[in-house]
Amino acid sequence: MNIFDIVMDIGFFAAAVRLAVPLLLGTLSELTAERSGVLNLGIEGMMLSGALAGFGTASATGSLWLGVTAAIGVGMLVGALMALLVVTLRLDQTVTGLGVSLMATGLVFYSYRLGFGESSTPPAITPFSTIPLPFLSDIPVIGPVFFNQYALTYLAYLLVPALAFFLYRTPAGLALRSVGENPQAAAAAGIDPIRVRFLALIAAGGLAGLAGAYLNLAAFGSFTFGIIAGRGWICLALVVLGRWNPIACAGAAFLFGAVDALQLRLQASGAVDLPYQLFLALPYAATLVAMILNASRAVGPTALMQPYDAEQR
């Protein structure tokens, strides 16, 4: 099978849709935080925390949906911690985000070993099954690609128009964008920037936790230490590529999901004789290239990374 046959296969596009989901949820998470003026470098730790919380809960209770709930809840807790540090205490967002991510990673590894012990074979659960939508899944080409997916996949893609509607069609969304552009002006208009940023980071944490849970509750059915594999950092780039717009960010996430699906199929088919490490690096290399090409056109929220002090208006 050559590269053209791989790219034109319906299974390739269906896999691209699935593989884009954790990137999509992580990108929506980061977009929500950055629209409020906070750069959330803790996203990798949030995703990993959600992954373990979801897997551990599902493994203990036998309920995948309880696992999803736990993942969102733990992600929100990490988001609240991030908010306390950078919004309330006004600590440096870059250093704090990295610190939160490292702390969460350490706690996850410790909790995993405490709960599951040392084992050469990672524990596994039965993940979500795909749910073909009646009638829609029977549509040629489009049906198998978009309408025979996991429930979490449908949820993730529905969140895209929902977030776009929230940002551009609701007073709360306007308040969020206003705080990200000029928190002093927003405060003068009666909006509380601290409250808005705090809630934005909690919501961002929940979305990041859900992104992490998707990987083991739907995609893999197991938990490993490298399950996130840097996807949180890719999400930071996808927000820039999507220019802080939910619809464009979804397109960017799908593009990189397709790159990930391509490298997996190239490895499996043997169509290109290269070391597997080069295939694994392909999505990250594509991220760097896209960032370079898009650098001059990316303009983020004006108040991004600027702490807000209520006493200095």
For 162-185, give the DSSP string: HHHHHHHHSHHHHHHHHHHH-HHH
Instruction: Indicate whether 182 belongs to any domain.
Output: yes
> Residues of the chain with pLDDT > 90: what percent?
64
Packing angle, helices 10-35 and 193-214, rounded to 10:
160
User: By 3-state DSSP, what share of the chain in percent is helix, strand and coil, each rounded to 5?
Assistant: 75, 0, 25
Instruction: Indicate whether 125 belongs to any domain.
Output: no
Looking at the predicted structure, is the pLDDT value of residue 265 above 90?
no
- Indicate the helix (H) or strand (E) that contains 202: helix 193-214
What phi and psi values does residue 279 have, to the nearest 5 degrees?
-65, -40
Instruction: Indicate whether 213 belongs to any domain.
Output: yes
CATH of residue 289's domain is 1.10.3470
Looking at the predicted structure, is the pLDDT value of residue 102 above 80?
yes
Instruction: Indicate whether 36 belongs to any domain.
Output: yes
What pLDDT, in 10s, does the model give residues 112-141? 999 888 777 778 899 999 999 988 888 888
Instruction: Indicate whether 308 belongs to any domain.
Output: no
pTM of the predicted structure, to 2 decimals: 0.92
Instruction: Indicate whether 128 belongs to any domain.
Output: no
The residue behind tokens 């990108």 is 27
Instruction: Indicate whether 239 belongs to any domain.
Output: yes
Give residue 146's domain range. Answer: 3-117+142-297
Number of domains forming the structure of the chain: 1
Determine the average pLDDT of the residues in 268-290: 72
Instruction: Indicate whether 310 belongs to any domain.
Output: no
